[in-house]
Amino acid sequence: MTRTKDCGHEISMSTPSAGEAGATGDWRTERPLLDAGACLAAKQRKDACQLCWVYCPDVCVSRGVPPAVDLTYCKGCGICAEVCPTGAIRMVADDEHAAPSAPGGARAAAGARP
pLDDT number for residue 26: 81
Tens of pLDDT along 34-43?
999 999 999 9
The residue-averaged pLDDT of 16-34 equals 80
Q: Is residue 84 assigned to a domain?
A: yes
pTM over 0.75: no
Q: Is residue 12 assigned to a domain?
A: no
Q: Is residue 1 assigned to a domain?
A: no
Q: Is residue 50 assigned to a domain?
A: yes
Q: Is residue 92 assigned to a domain?
A: yes
Tell me, what CATH number does 89's domain have? 3.30.70.20
Q: Is residue 5 assigned to a domain?
A: no
pLDDT number for residue 58: 86
Tens of pLDDT along 27-82?
889 999 999 999 999 999 998 999 999 999 988 999 999 999 999 999 999 999 99
Listed in sequence order, the residues at least 6 apart from 52 whose beta carbon sits closer than 8 Å to its beta carbon are 32, 61, 67, 80, 83, 84, 89
Range of the domain at 90: 18-114
The domain total for the chain is 1
Residue with the larger pLDDT of the pair 12 and 62: 62
Q: Is residue 10 assigned to a domain?
A: no
pLDDT number for residue 14: 61
